[in-house]
Structure 1
Amino acid sequence: MTEGERKLWLELREFRRLYGIHVRRQAPLGPYIADFVIHERHLIIEVDGEHHFTATGHARDRKRDEWLASQGYKTLRFNTGELSDSFDGCVEEILRELGLMTGSEVTPTPNLSPQGGGGLC
């Protein structure tokens, strides 16, 4: 796991406590393994390293994204540079995709149980 993936995972695993959204790491989906997935929202979050920026890498990612889309999943991709240079912006993009952020404001969530989840997952 890269430093960017590690930092993003630390943030994403708090989504259950903060928003009642369970994020899985390194989750199998058919023939693929997603870096991060939120099944109940059909959202995949991928962190792309340098090998994704070759012609072969682009083709592989396109094929993978098409298959995942055929299964009802949307893929958000961030490269390691984006996570390094604009980590908060990447997290905000995820929150917007989940409908938890409009403009620059995070949408409040219902009170959750102390164990998290609050029956929302």
Structure 2
Amino acid sequence: MRRGLASTSAMVWLRSRAKELRRDMTPAEKTVWRILHEGELVALNWRKQAPFGDFILDFVSHPARLVVEVDGAQHGETEQALYDQQRTAWLEAEGYRVLRVWNSEAKSLADGVWRLVHHAAMQSPAVRRMDRWREQTMANIRTANERAVTSSSSMEEVARAQRGSEEVRPPAITNEPHEARPSTFEGAPPQSALRADSSSIEEERAPHFDGSVQ
């Protein structure tokens, strides 16, 4: 059996083990998984803890033929490093590019990890996928903006119509008789034009005779 092409029984074990790894992802792996779904990278159809050949890959995009591995401190040991080299050589022979990220980088250099993967993806067979995703996203944004403008215009028209109806609203009807309404005019009584002392007309009237003789 050529290395990397697992037997049926081995594949059953690999799939079972991959399921366990997906359930028990490390914090660094969870961070990278989120990074791979930011922006146009999401268009690459990533799979996590995916069996491939004799191996379980941390993250793989088959359309882009990219593999992202998240390494802990044990990958710096000689034996593990040798195994990683052999694994990388097999994957490259299958046409895949392997990117390796340390746990510490995943946690503190998220932007750098995103740029690393994006740069590799732009040189991959899946670059057109990202272009389509970008075009579709921009189209969706334009559509959403147009709907927002239309909705805003409609709301303004409704508000203007409501203001117009309020302006032509008839006066309120009251049962109070007009004569009983209090007057707000408090001016002085009319003055006689014949008097310079501004006495009221009431004072200009003739004196009342009670019949007595003086």
1:29 to 52, 59, 66: 52
Say which structure, 1 or 2, has more relative contact order (CA 8 Å, 6+ apart): 1
Q: Distance in 2 between matches of 1:58 and 1:2?
A: 20
Provide the residue aligned with 1:104 in structure 2: none
Is 1:60 matched with 2:83?
Answer: yes
Deviation at 1:20, TM superposition (A): 2.3
- 1:45-67 per-position Cα deviation (integer Å, ceiling 9, x unaligned): 00001110100011000000001
Q: Distance in 1 between matches of 2:71 and 2:42?
A: 26
Q: Distance in 1 between matches of 2:32 and 2:42?
A: 16
Once structures 1 and 2 are overlaid, which stretch shifts more, 85-94 or 18-27? 18-27
Which structure has the bigger radius of gyration? 2
Q: Distance in 2 between matches of 1:33 and 1:110?
A: 33
Q: TM-score, normalised by structure 2?
A: 0.46
Q: Distance in 1 between matches of 2:82 and 2:42?
A: 35
CA pair 7-19 structure 1, distance change in 2 beyond 3 A:
closer
**Greater share of residues in strand:** 1
Is 1:40 matched with 2:41?
Answer: no
Q: Distance in 1 between matches of 2:118 and 2:108?
A: 18
**Greater share of residues in helix:** 2
Provide the residue aligned with 1:6 in structure 2: 30
Q: Given residue 112 of structure 2, which amino acid in structure 1 is its aligned partner?
A: G
Q: Given residue 109 of structure 1, which amino acid in structure 2 is its aligned partner?
A: R
CA pair 35-68 structure 1, distance change in 2 beyond 3 A:
same
Alpha-carbon contact 1:19-1:109 (below 8 Å) kept: no
Unaligned runs of 5+ in 2: 1-24, 124-130, 141-214
Q: Distance in 1 between matches of 2:116 and 2:36?
A: 12
Q: Distance in 2 between matches of 1:62 and 1:3?
A: 24
Q: Distance in 2 between matches of 1:61 and 1:93?
A: 20
Is 1:110 matched with 2:110?
Answer: no
Alpha-carbon contact 2:91-2:97 (below 8 Å) kept: yes
Deviation at 1:10, TM superposition (A): 1.9
Q: Given residue 118 of structure 2, which amino acid in structure 1 is its aligned partner?
A: L
Q: Distance in 2 between matches of 1:66 and 1:95?
A: 22
Q: TM-score, normalised by structure 1?
A: 0.78
Q: Over aligned residue pairs, what C-alpha RMSD do you find? A: 2.4
Q: Given residue 121 of structure 2, which amino acid in structure 1 is its aligned partner?
A: L
Q: Distance in 2 between matches of 1:14 and 1:51?
A: 28
Unaligned runs of 5+ in 1: 101-106, 115-121
